[in-house]
Amino acid sequence: MRLAKCLTERPVVTTMVTTVVRQLKQISTRFSIAVHALSLIATNPAECTGDYIAGSVNTNPVVIRRIIGMLKKAGLVDVRPGVGGASLRQDPERITLLDVYRAVNAAEDDHLFRIHENSNIDCPVGQNIENVLRTELEQAQALMEQRLAQTSIAQLLAKFAR
Amino acid sequence: MRLAKCLTERPVVTTMVTTVVRQLKQISTRFSIAVHALSLIATNPAECTGDYIAGSVNTNPVVIRRIIGMLKKAGLVDVRPGVGGASLRQDPERITLLDVYRAVNAAEDDHLFRIHENSNIDCPVGQNIENVLRTELEQAQALMEQRLAQTSIAQLLAKFAR
DNA sequence: ACCTGTTGTAACCGTTATTGTTATAACTCA
DNA sequence: TGAGTTATAACAATAACGGTTACAACAGGT
């Protein structure tokens, strides 16, 4: 069969593809640590130094400052060099888990699923798979994100025991 | 404040924690490649050798065999050593994207979100954050997976152009 | 004006997952 | 038996992650 040959006898030259990298990141603990930090700040802004938050999260202060920096860049918190403590820039009712998720770059480029590229376009499947699958996966991802958007930091705090 | 001291003056000994590792994996291209392979097998089982599929996906045949091996272990496909070709072990209408997602271990231990551990239990936030957040994130994950479960390989193929 | 405590970063390390690759054993069937 | 195939081990290159040290810059109190 022609297609069989076309697919099996791959040209050896394909190794030229410089690998664009663009690696999708996993959903790291940055996300949960960020939520933790925001919960602390919402509760007790005055004491929220990097060291203090690190003491509650039980990690290194630099890890915390890195994450706080991302939250600051996203407009969620206020921090000033030299002066201790941090404060929310929005009401805790208005900061959702999705805001935090996005702020800490939980998923690269807003794509949770990574899809292989360079499929063989001489093959009916290779020709179509990327677009069709992308549509499906984007819908799945959207549902997840909608759920994240439904919970605010304030709602989270309200669920704490006592 | 007592809590402040408790959190700020961390005992230096905490470094003993041997770091259990347990790294959560990202959603790799294994998933999309597996869907691609299953689509090929559903369409054209006879010709589906590792090299053939690799030609359509445009990657190394060993990568394909590794993935096919996982699909086989999950009971989705039939492959036999020595003999070329592969076949579905279930109707393409009954194989969902979620089945594939699970088969290739897209998320470690079925937990898409990784949550930091060892929060300071002397802190009200540290005490509660893990359980409360876990509940939320599991619901978000569940919605995503339910969406994956709604699409079968057959439905995917039906969406291909011409 | 200094000192202390803090934020903000850069730089580096060890670990891990991923993807591609080579090599080799074992198997099937004509 | 030989060709084609599956199965798998081993290795390398890359990247993300989390932790750590070091240091510059800054603010506020004394």
Q: Give chain A's end-to-end CA distance (angstroms, integer).
A: 70
Give me the CA A81–C1' D6 separation in Å, rounded: 61
pLDDT for res B26: 57
Contact B113, B61 (CB under 8 A): no
pLDDT tens digits, A28-60: 999 999 999 999 999 999 999 999 999 999 999
- How distant is the Cα of B152 from the closest Cα of chain A, in angstroms? 11
pLDDT for res A107: 80
CATH number reported for the structural domain that contains residue B81 in this entry: 1.10.10.10
Q: Give chain B's end-to-end CA distance (angstroms, integer).
A: 70
**Shortest CA–C1' contact from B24: which nucleotide?**
C17
pLDDT for res A110: 83
Contact B128, B62 (CB under 8 A): no
**Are B129 and A35 an interchain contact pair (Cβ–Cβ within 8 Å)?**
yes
Q: Is residue B17 a part of any domain in this protein? A: no
Domain range enclosing B66: 23-109+152-158
**Are A32 and B115 an interchain contact pair (Cβ–Cβ within 8 Å)?**
yes
Residues of chain A numbered 5-64 and touching chain B (CB < 8 Å): 6-10, 14, 24-29, 31-33, 35-36, 39-40, 43, 47, 49, 51-52, 54-59
Q: Is residue B91 a part of any domain in this protein? A: yes
Q: Is residue A39 a part of any domain in this protein? A: yes
Mean pLDDT of A62-74: 98
Q: Is residue A6 a part of any domain in this protein? A: no
Which of the pair, A105 or B127, is modelled with greater confidence?
Answer: B127
pLDDT for res B13: 32
Mean pLDDT of A70-93: 97
**Are A140 and B147 an interchain contact pair (Cβ–Cβ within 8 Å)?**
yes
Counting the structural domains of chain A, the total is 1
Q: Which of B38, B113, B141 to mutate to test the interface with A (most CBs of A within 10 A)?
A: B113
Task: Please give the helix or strand (H or E) that residue B77 lies within, else none.
Answer: strand B77-80
Q: Is residue B9 a part of any domain in this protein? A: no
Contact B58, A118 (CB under 8 A): yes
Q: Is residue B82 a part of any domain in this protein? A: yes
Per-residue pLDDT of chain B (162 residues; tens, 9 = 90+): 334 444 444 333 332 322 233 334 458 999 999 999 999 999 999 999 999 999 999 999 999 999 999 999 999 999 999 999 999 999 999 999 999 999 998 777 789 999 999 999 999 999 999 999 999 999 999 999 999 999 999 999 999 986
Q: Is residue A53 a part of any domain in this protein? A: yes
C-alpha–C-alpha distance, residues B53 and A4, integer Å:
10
Q: Is residue A38 a part of any domain in this protein? A: yes
Give me the CA A52–C1' C6 separation in Å, rounded: 12
C-alpha–C-alpha distance, residues B71 and A71, integer Å:
40
Mean pLDDT of A86-100: 98
